[in-house]
Amino acid sequence: MASTKKLKPEYISRLFSELFDTLSSGMSINDGIYMLIEEGDKDPVLEILLKETSKGGTFSNAVKRTNAFPAYVEEMIAIGEHTGRLDSVLRELSVYYARQDEIAQNIKNAVTFPLILLAILVVIVILLLTQVMPVFNDVFKQIGITMSASALALMNLGNIMRDYAVYIVIGAVVIVGLILLLYKLPATHNKVLAIVQGKKLKKQMSASKFASAMSMTMSSGMDIDESLEMSKKLCDEDSIKKINSCQKMMRSGIGFDKAIQKSAILDSINSSKLSISFHTGKTDETMRKIADDYAEKVNTSVDEKISRVEPALVIIMSLLVGFVLFSVMVPLLSVITAM
């Protein structure tokens, strides 16, 4: 029975890396899958792969039978078998999915970390309003002074939150649940990612995917035209438009290196690198280096975003806590000054 659960990029990368090592050592794909199972990998996908390859079927057909891999992976493996470069395809797929997983994890951290800080901020403010403010109010009553109007307003807000805590918690859980549900929808998910990424990061990610796809397809034995066509299956709409423009220019007689430059798929520096490599016959190697360069740029851009958000949230937290404490301390300072 075929699997219905799609594999995560991290697992695909690790699996293909292991199978590449198997082929490189002179063993068969079937041997590699068997060893993975013997080592304790209990993923049902491996059982399906082992069953199909043990019958003498091709690895590409076994991959299709699992229904657990992206369609692009299925096509690339079939091409690798057809060209006799399955080992190269497995290696490139492993590198590609490892790179994409790293980028995805960094973007996830860019969203998760600020949310954690925000949650901490909300908890601190709630504790101040519901637990600390009433204590100050009791102390002030004992010494015969009244808190400021702003402090009283904050304390009353805290009392309301405490009295209706159950309803507030239920409402918060429902709202968070709805947000998570909406986030899982492709349209909402893509909009959130677009906001987090920004134009610069989105452009870098698009270029990274394009360079990775080109490196992978060209290493598998495809020519430039075939590689460009296959790359569309991994790229976003904006990159696909640029690839179409590049193909159109190439059909009109413009060289690949010049067409890449004019279509602005890559930045000027990497386009120049590609132009040099195109004439030396090392385009696939340069594409791999360009992909690594863009992956590093993406990770740097994500780190920069986190580094900007973190101090901003700390400042907001400090200002809110400071305002609450200041509103409480003003009456006390006036008493001390009057002594």
Provide the sign of the torsion angle of the four alpha carbons 208, 209, 215, 216, taken in this order. Answer: positive
**pLDDT for the residue 175:** 80
Planar angle of CA 108, 168, 186, nearest 5 degrees? 30
Contact by Cβ (8 Å): 302, 113: no
Residues 204-220 as b or e (16 or more Cβ within 10 Å = b): bbbbbbbbbbbbbbbbb
Kindly state the tokens that stand for 158.
């805290």
**pLDDT for the residue 55:** 87
pLDDT in tens, the chain (339 residues): 455 577 888 999 999 999 999 988 888 888 899 898 888 888 888 988 988 888 888 898 999 989 889 888 888 888 888 778 888 888 888 888 888 888 778 777 777 777 787 788 888 888 888 887 888 778 777 777 777 777 778 788 888 888 888 888 888 788 877 766 765 665 555 565 555 556 777 788 788 888 888 888 887 778 888 888 888 887 888 888 999 999 999 999 998 888 888 888 888 888 888 888 777 777 778 888 888 888 888 778 777 777 777 777 778 878 877 777 777 776 666 656 655
Which residue shows structure tokens 């004439």? 279
Report helix angle 133-142 to 149-163, nearest 10.
Answer: 130
**pLDDT for the residue 249:** 92
Quick one: DSSP state of residue 236?
-
- CA count, 13 A, side-chain hemisphere, 152: 8
* 336 alpha carbon, distance to own chain's centre: 55
pTM (two decimals): 0.66
d(CA 263, CA 281): 21
Instruction: Give the number of other Cβ atoms within 10 Å of residue 70's Cβ.
Output: 16
**pLDDT for the residue 14:** 92
**pLDDT for the residue 248:** 92
**pLDDT for the residue 17:** 92
